[in-house]
Structure 1
Amino acid sequence: MMGRRAFLASLAASLTTSVHAKEAGPPDSNGTVLGPFQVEPLAGLADIPAPTLEALQDQVTVLNFWASWCQACREEHRYLVALQRKGVRIAGVAVQDQDEAVLHYLEKAGNPYGLVGIDNKRELITMLSLRSIPQTFLISRRCEVVWQTDEGLDNALVAELLAKIGTIGG
């Protein structure tokens, strides 16, 4: 038989657990669902549109924040190129950068981005609480963040990302 104190502790624990489960969102989500945002397209890449909420809907997308001047971004770039070669859809958002510098870098290093732009208005940066670059998010078909890292991509993170893409049907 359970004492009153043990019963109340058990009841409090179950209520706390159910509240946290409801707040956690779907199992593949960190709780962030993208809303409308505007990212500026890159002048000089008219054939590659900027990321928009509408463009991200209905397709699993890797969303990568980077800058041409960022050394860690340059180090992870080869992993983005490799992901793109595997058929992964990647959207790139340059941060605190200039169109000319971004274009020059992509011409030199290769462009893994099917969607690319600059977030000069900081709408998407603010929405995702971007803390640093590089930062990479996996966005579901319902525009939910289902995976993220604020470390530069490497072999281990790419394997984790590809596994997550596989589990959400990308």
Structure 2
Amino acid sequence: MAKISPLMVVPPVLFAVLAGLFIFGMGRDDARRLPTAQAGKDAPSIASITPLGDLPPLTDDLLDAEGVKLVNYWASWCAPCRAEHPQLEAMSAEGITIYGINYKDEAPAARGFLDEMGNPYAAIGQDEPGRTALEWGVYGVPETYVIDGKGRIAYRFAGPITVEVLDKYIRPEIAKAAAE
């Protein structure tokens, strides 16, 4: 019988420990929420974004308007944006105001996405160079911000809005922002 060296056991054990930590970390509830330094602050200006064709343009005045609203950063090339789109359409149908900012995308591709998937946005702008996204602290798309009735960022969710995310995070944050 061959003798097993302790050095032969270390790599598989180390791998198992690291895999366990990875799986544990992915399952943590707070692993899906990235903090934002913008919470409680006025929503950054969107004056530098451009209109997306003939769609209603997004302006700073709309962000300052009364009532809770969402700002959703998205792109046509973003698969998770496609996955979250039905939830955005459902919220829009319920009367939740959603403003869209198309991120680092070409206008024809963005229009094609909206023509295919539907347009849940009350107004929309295009941030092709991504400069406005930097001011908002966007890590990547999709990202959705809850803006309170005073134009301040109340909450930020990084990642696609699934039905679970909508019920567990977005709806409660909308209600919280409306109550303030």
TM range, normalised to the smaller chain?
Answer: 0.7 to 0.9
Which protein is bigger by CA-based radius of gyration?
A: 2
Report whether the alignment pairs 1:30 with 2:42: no
Q: Is the 8 A contact 1:34 1:127 kept in 2?
A: no
Whichever residue aligns with residue 119 of structure 1, its letter is D
CA distance in 1: counterparts of 2:46 and 2:101, whole angstroms: 12
Q: Is the 8 A contact 1:32 1:128 kept in 2?
A: no
Unaligned runs of 5+ in 1: 1-28
Equivalent position of 2:171 in the other structure = 162
Rate the CA distance shift 1:121–1:141 in 2: closer, same or farther, 3 A.
farther
Q: 1:52 pairs with 55, 59, 68, which one?
A: 59
Equivalent position of 2:109 in the other structure = 101
Q: 1:43 pairs with 53, 56, 59, which one?
A: 53
1:56-81 Cα deviation digits (max 9, x unpaired): 11231110000001101101111100
Describe the SS at the equivalent of 1:152: coil
Whichever residue aligns with residue 157 of structure 1, its letter is V
Describe the SS at the equivalent of 2:76: coil
Equivalent position of 1:145 in the other structure = 153
Percent of residue pairs bearing the same amino acid type? 26
Q: Is the 8 A contact 1:53 1:143 kept in 2?
A: no
Equivalent position of 2:13 in the other structure = none
Q: Please provide the CA RMSD for this pair.
A: 1.7
Report whether the alignment pairs 1:114 with 2:116: no
Taking structure 2 as the reference length, what is the TM-score of the superposition? 0.71
Q: Which runs of 4+ in 1 moved over 4 A?
A: none
Q: Is the 8 A contact 2:147 2:177 kept in 1?
A: no
CA distance in 1: counterparts of 2:95 and 2:164, whole angstroms: 19
Q: Is the 8 A contact 1:44 1:103 kept in 2?
A: no
Describe the SS at the equivalent of 2:178: coil
CA distance in 1: counterparts of 2:60 and 2:172, whole angstroms: 24
Unaligned runs of 5+ in 2: 1-37
